[in-house]
Structure 1
Amino acid sequence: MSTLELDSVSIAFGAVHAVEDLSLHLQPGEVYALLGPNGAGKTTTLNMILGFLRPDRGSITVAGADAAADPLGARARIGYLPETVMLHPSLSAIENLTYFALLAGRKIDAATARQLLSEAGLQPEAHERLAGNFSKGMRQKVGVAIALAKQAHLLLLDEPTSGLDASAANDLSNVIRAASERGIAVLMATHDLFRVKDVAHRLGILRAGRMVDERDAATLDPVALEQLYLQRLAS
């Protein structure tokens, strides 16, 4: 069974067709990069998968749960990292993780929290630090640990490398690979063509809500990917 299935999904806001006839299937462990400029429909697509928006046509299922008919069930299978991961600033990384895991229906102890934070790439010396002092990259790692704690089937990333330095972006790539190796499917909406080539198995290019190209990432070198992206946006 596919982890994520979008079948002929469309949504419009008045006269604006934000997403039109979009189909996309992700298998367990697959990393898919959804490319496109601002306004292409990437974030709208993520919000439909999360059940925050209901498509006008088509269907979305997450590990067997219908995102429109059962949005809570679908979200229970998803780990979501928005562009800015919001944590409780007065709680430590361990406390944030145990709190959000509890909200997802899983009670974990401090030892398990430490293990998950380490698997997500957060250095041990940061586990008991207050999250209010965390960088964006550190907050993302806690967010990934939360996804691991709730045993998510799907990880959604919205512009994950925006505002990250090269070292933090590289750490994020390692975390994405580790999630993939655990069988978690990853859908990342991004402008970062270099990172796409670094971690994605497949990629799709959205323009004005429509999928205009889809490729295996391994078939394109970075220069060819950039040329394809610019060509598809211009055509």
Structure 2
Amino acid sequence: MTPSLEARSLSLVRDGTVVLNDVSFAVARGEVYALLGGNGAGKSTTLLTFLGFLVPSGGEVLVGGQAVAGNVEAARTQIAYLPEAAALYGHLDAYENLGYFLDLAGRKVGRTAMDAALDQVALPQEARTRRMQSYSKGMRQKTAIALALLRDTPILLLDEPTSGLDPVAIDEFHAMVKALASAGRTVLMVTHDVYGACQVADRVGLLRGGRLVGSFEAGPGGRIDTETVHAAFAEREAA
């Protein structure tokens, strides 16, 4: 079966610095793949190559079996991207932000669908008509997650998606991601959170200095062993 996302010997050099070096992985439909690494590992850069914002210096990335190079717009129609700090408008409320950005994406949804998505991310009803400038970081992140869900694309790219969320909201988010994958969506998330990656992902790739230096899969219990991954992460970061 053709992977939903694939990096083939992906390399990228920016301003003379090697940011990604011969990175290869594939993510199947209905799978959650977590790319784990510290600051500067190349995690976010990898996501931006799938979106066509950065052009590989070597190798290629594919979305739905098609190379992104030369097919950028087609690739983006299949992807909803959640950045670490979503650029939502502070003078608009949650509904207005959702409506505006969905209009830009060419997607029309009604208030009922918006409420369903906001219910899914547990944004309080009373907050939805308040201006975004009054929101906490966690509430803004929940609104951004709802926006990604409403795009209704087969692929989700998540950049540090639980940043700013409290522990209960993080657990709720991970449960939601698992449910989306079970329904057939493909999820690629990048994170520095070892526990979160192991809790939600089917597979974890360890990225350091632009290289993919380790790979971990869920065992018989359906979970990736956190201690094993943490030890590998700590060892690599200390190297």
Contact 2:86 2:144 in 1 (8 A): yes
**Cross-structure match for 1:34:** 35
**Cross-structure match for 1:130:** 131
**Cross-structure match for 2:21:** 20
**Cross-structure match for 1:190:** 191
Q: Does 1:226 align with 2:227?
A: no
Distance 1:144 1:8 in 2: 30
Q: Secondary structure at the match of 1:186?
A: strand
Q: Does 1:91 align with 2:89?
A: no
Q: Secondary structure at the match of 1:47?
A: helix
Q: Cα–Cα, structure 1 residues 52 and 203, in superposed 2: closer, same or farther, change >3 Å?
A: same
Residue 234 of structure 1 and its aligned partner are, at CA, apart by 4.5
Q: Secondary structure at the match of 1:12?
A: strand
Q: Between the two proteins, what is the percent identity of the paired residues?
A: 42
Q: Secondary structure at the match of 1:40?
A: coil
Alignment-mate amino acid for residue 207 of structure 1: R
**Cross-structure match for 1:147:** 148
Q: Secondary structure at the match of 2:172?
A: helix
Residue 139 of structure 1 and its aligned partner are, at CA, apart by 2.0
Distance 2:114 2:164 in 1: 27
Q: Cα–Cα, structure 1 residues 198 and 47, in superposed 2: closer, same or farther, change >3 Å?
A: same
Q: CA RMSD for the aligned pairs?
A: 2.0
Return the TM-score normalized by structure 1.
0.90
Distance 1:115 1:161 in 2: 20
In structure 2, runs of 5+ residues without a counterpart are: none
Residue 101 of structure 1 and its aligned partner are, at CA, apart by 1.4
Q: Secondary structure at the match of 2:84?
A: coil
Q: After superposition, where does 1:21-170 map in structure 2 within 5 Å?
A: 21-170=22-171
Q: Cα–Cα, structure 1 residues 97 and 197, in superposed 2: closer, same or farther, change >3 Å?
A: same
Distance 1:116 1:64 in 2: 29
Q: Cα–Cα, structure 1 residues 152 and 53, in superposed 2: closer, same or farther, change >3 Å?
A: same
Distance 2:182 2:128 in 1: 24
**Cross-structure match for 2:178:** 177
Residue 48 of structure 1 and its aligned partner are, at CA, apart by 0.9
Return the TM-score normalized by structure 2.
0.89
Q: Secondary structure at the match of 1:121?
A: coil
Deviations 1:72-110 (A, max 9, x none): 222222111111112111222122112211111111111
Distance 1:192 1:51 in 2: 26
In structure 1, runs of 5+ residues without a counterpart are: none
Contact 2:205 2:212 in 1 (8 A): yes
